[in-house]
Amino acid sequence: EVKKRVSEGAKEVFLLGQNVLLYENFFELMERISSLPGEFWVKLLNSHPKDLCERHVRFLKSLNHFTPL
């Protein structure tokens, strides 16, 4: 869906969920999104900050297209 939206001209994509950071394939999914071509930003919206750990922060910081809210 992100690929489709970006190809349609989206400049921002929000990943929204109750526990975005706990998706089973979170790291793989974020890498796939990061490798998409184009000029766009991805923002994560997660209602449970307790699930955020240093590993997530370092990982997201190393990727293209991701920005803090």
Q: Which residue numbers in the chain have pLDDT < 70?
A: 47, 68-69
Could you give phi then psi for residue 48, rounded to 5 degrees?
A: -120, 85
Least Cα distance to 6 among 65, 58, 56, 68 occurs for 65
What is the Cα–Cα distance from 7 to 27, expressed in whole angstroms? 22
- Would you call 42 exposed, middle or buried from its count of C-beta atoms within 10 A (0-12, 13-18, 19+)? buried
pLDDT digits (tens, 9 = 90+) for 28-43: 999 999 999 999 999 9
Model-level pTM?
0.77
Position 7 scores a pLDDT of: 95
Position 48 scores a pLDDT of: 72
